[in-house]
Chain A
Amino acid sequence: MKINVTHIAKLANLPLSHEEKQKFEKQLEETLSYVENLKEIDTKDVEPTSQVTGLENVTREDAASPSLTQEEALSNTKSIHNGFVKVTAILEQ
């Protein structure tokens, strides 16, 4: 199995050097070789399991309750403007 590391790194938003790409390509292919054995198992008509609790439709009343203050919520943010998180522009004017 060949992995296109450049494409995957772009999807995952990970900055990688050329050396890293080469190293990871080999390691990722090695990991994939370990999971190939699933093909040996017949899963025709088997339902997939996404969670094991058996709980369904867990809801709560849609009511406001105390939460973090704006100051607390921004306490780890490096770039703040007027009480908001400041980000670089993503849209052109």
Chain B
Amino acid sequence: MNLNQLTITEAKKGLKKKKFSSVDLTNACLEQIKKYDKHINAYISVTEEKSLKQAEKADQKLAQGDNSPLLGIPLSIKDNFSTRGVRTTASSKVLDEYIPPYNATVVSRLLDAGMVMLGKTNMDAWAHGSSTETSDFGTTKNPWNINHLPGGSSGGAAASVASYETIAAIGSETAGSIRQPASWCGVVGLKPTYGRVSRYGVIAMASSLDSPGPITRTVEDSALILEVLAGKDENDATTSEKTTATYSKNLNKDISGITIGISDDYFQGVDEEVKQAIMDTYKPFEKLGAKIKKIKLFDPKYAIAVYTILQRSEVSSNLARYDGIRYGHDRSFFGDEAKRRIMLGTYTLSSGYYDAYYKKAQQVRTLIIKDFEKSFGEVDIIIAPTSPTTALPVGASKDQSMFGELADMLVEPSSIAGLPGINVPAGFSKNRLPIGMQIIGPQFSEELILNIAHKYEQETPWHTTKLDINL
């Protein structure tokens, strides 16, 4: 048995029964990184020495009967989460020497829960993109086929899970950056409701949308991590007071009688193989007692426009702080994608254009939210393809200023509305690239969508399909 291929649930059992130690588990992941990451490039920094120290400490605590939820479990962290004493670059040369003096709330919570941090994963620079090709530290490759992209912006995170270079990963999504790479890499990616998980210490992209979340091998692992991350944080005023559930305890609830919405609008321009895979999910859902119902949703093409304006505008404001005076390099170090986004946002917020662009986009955002509210009166959840395609070839995003928006067309509407969504593997294409399905629910319905995702996963063989990395 390869320890680095375990799920969190399996690893926890093994640690408890003393079949192996956290040091064994951590070493197995580090060995895999040494063997494969020169080809995959999932990590920007690997913190081997620190990781092994944390693992030793975890082993001592385990021996004392400590029951912390992630005690001794190795995780990778996307490189836009501030990690005290560990370089944090957001994949940009602007921050290539930046060492944060504090931890993001997500990181503190994971450390308190006992995680072993393996290192920091590659991403699109500043999380701008859906390919990792805008990273200043080289593109990450898809472990299923290294001539293809992993998706993004959490491409390194998804690839680190798929290539067994970690047990699970932490990513962040603004509109697609968890679900889309999870889809392309054949793993589970959960984007929580906006405000469910703290943004404190995450390098800000679009502050009204940013949502940190887990990327894992199974839905159960996703629930276990969300239990640690979710909840009110004094340092992020947008986090919700709403109580958090024990998400992992309700995964097996009967889902018979629930109504699943599907919309033709989410199948426009989608690859035939992807379409077919999503339609093939109806059977297992019906077997579980769910009803499939056709609904009409706001055309996602308008969500692309809304997202493009809001995201660029918020980016131009958030990236204004990088002046090279207090930390980091000056503004000449920004890459092309960041420059494009800063300028477009500056333009849409500038005098004379604000009403035509920013205000208009915020009004259409209201209409998209209302459209989802209406739909959730008719159905319990919505399913759709996560991405219109399987992983595209390396180089596909070059000089395509709208690449990300088109790749994320089907996840942008729910992100704009602040809704939770999860990507679950739903099959493979003929050339053996993963296909993903997303489940979208109303605000704060994580318990329900994890429950439904888990039941679907248990009915299908996709999550147990082992990747045989052949390089």
Q: Which residues of A contact B (CB under 8 A)?
A: 3, 5, 8-9, 11-16, 20, 24, 27-28, 30-32, 34-39, 41, 43, 46-53, 55, 58, 60, 68, 72-73, 75-77, 79, 85, 87
Contacts and interface: CB of A to CB of B under 8 A. Distances in A.
Given A30-B401, A35-B361, A53-B418, 8 more contacts: A31-B340, A38-B364, A43-B360, A55-B195, A55-B237, A72-B102, A79-B325, A85-B326
Contacts, number: 135
23 contacts: A8-B347, A12-B342, A13-B323, A14-B339, A24-B339, A28-B340, A34-B304, A34-B402, A38-B361, A43-B360, A46-B366, A48-B365, A49-B365, A49-B369, A52-B208, A52-B418, A52-B443, A53-B240, A58-B238, A75-B99, A75-B101, A76-B327, A87-B325
B407 interface: no
Contact of A8 (B305, B328, B350, B369): B350
Contact of B362 (A27, A36, A48, A60): A48
A52 B370 CA distance: 12
B240 A15 contact: no
B237 A52 contact: no
Contacts of A20: 339
Contact of A11 (B301, B350, B369): B350
B315 to A, nearest CB: 10
A55 B342 CA distance: 28
Which of B306, B326, B343, B357 has the largest count of A CB atoms less than 10 A from its CB? B343
Contacts of A50: 208, 362
Nearest to B207: A51
Which of B238, B305, B309, B361 has the largest count of A CB atoms less than 10 A from its CB? B305
B362 A49 contact: yes
Given A48-B359, A52-B418, A76-B99, A38 B306 contact: yes
Given A37-B302, A48-B362, A52-B194, A32 B344 contact: yes
Contact of A16 (B195, B339, B360): B339
Contacts of B316: 12
B365 A72 contact: no
Contact of B343 (A28, A39, A41, A48): A28
- The 3 A-B pairs of least Cβ separation, nearest first, read A48-B362, A52-B418, A76-B327
Interface in B289-328: 301-302, 304-306, 308-309, 312, 316, 320, 323, 325-328
Contacts of B238: 51, 53, 55, 58
A4 to B, nearest CB: 9
A7 B446 CA distance: 45
A31 B344 contact: yes
A5 to B, nearest CB: 7
A43 B323 CA distance: 38
B367 interface: yes
Given A38-B361, A48-B365, A14 B343 contact: yes
B405 interface: yes
B205 to A, nearest CB: 15
Contacts of A43: 360, 363-364, 367
